[in-house]
Amino acid sequence: MLEPVSRVTVRTPVRRFHNGVFTSRPDMVAGEEPLEIRIGGRSLTVTMRTPGHDIELVHGFLHAEGLIAAADDISEIRYCDGVDEQGRNTYNVLDVTLSPTATSPTATSPTATTASSAVIPARSFTTTSACGVCGTASIEGLQRRMRYRLTDLPAFAPTTIIALPDRLRARQQAFRTTGGVHAAALVNPDGQLDHLREDVGRHNAVDKVIGTAVMAHELPISGRALLTSSRASFELVQKAAMAGIGMLVAVSAPSSLAVQLAEETGLTLIGFTSAAGFNIYSGARRVRGSAG
């Protein structure tokens, strides 16, 4: 039987086979619960996430989807409805009220309208913890929606980049307990990590990081890179580019569309990052000594 320790971690019994012997023992697994995001009372999406930093997640998600440009575009955000069998609030439903300054692109037209006349896009979608939402029909569509030009960062030293996976892992408290969550953080050129967040979904972890920056009025994030413990997918490059981030460093591999999008937007994309080295897939100018 699953036994919640917190909403981030859950204890469960397991049968373990090790060194030729079966034993019974408790194990810790990462918490995963649905979060429904509503705009003006209407359901926009449901994402499977690790509870915690939900407000930041919503800010990051809505920014990546083009519904908000800054924290001031949200006038209110609150938990509502969503109760369990005992009538207790599950804190799994967030309702957002957009400010008149917010824009809401429709599913069929890139023309933005004010929040008062068109509250949410004419689409809804469900996401899992393994897959994010692109929200654009093409790379060209994303480029039309980008608010910031990706500027050149102070160049990162290769020694700084190869140290990042270990620095990230050292601060992954939930990962040390469960082994089942991704992490993301912003990185200064000196290797300092800011706004580190963890989640079962790699896209959720990134939304929490960028959402924290949105709420702190730090956009565009032009002086720092985005670091992720996962592979570099299209939606992660999208989220970085929308926030004005010029470099994405991933511990694992990129996808072909992620590389294409990085090239088209001018983002520096780095993958297979470890203490032994890394691959630069685009934007090598932001890494010291990489010209050649």
Catalytic residues: 131
Fill in the amino acid letter for 36: E
Burial class (CB in 10 A: 0-12, 13-18, 19+), 277: exposed
Q: How far apart are CA 291 and CA 51, in angstroms?
A: 43
Q: Each residue of 10-29: b (16+ CB within 10 Å) or e?
A: beeeeeeeeeeeeeeeeebb
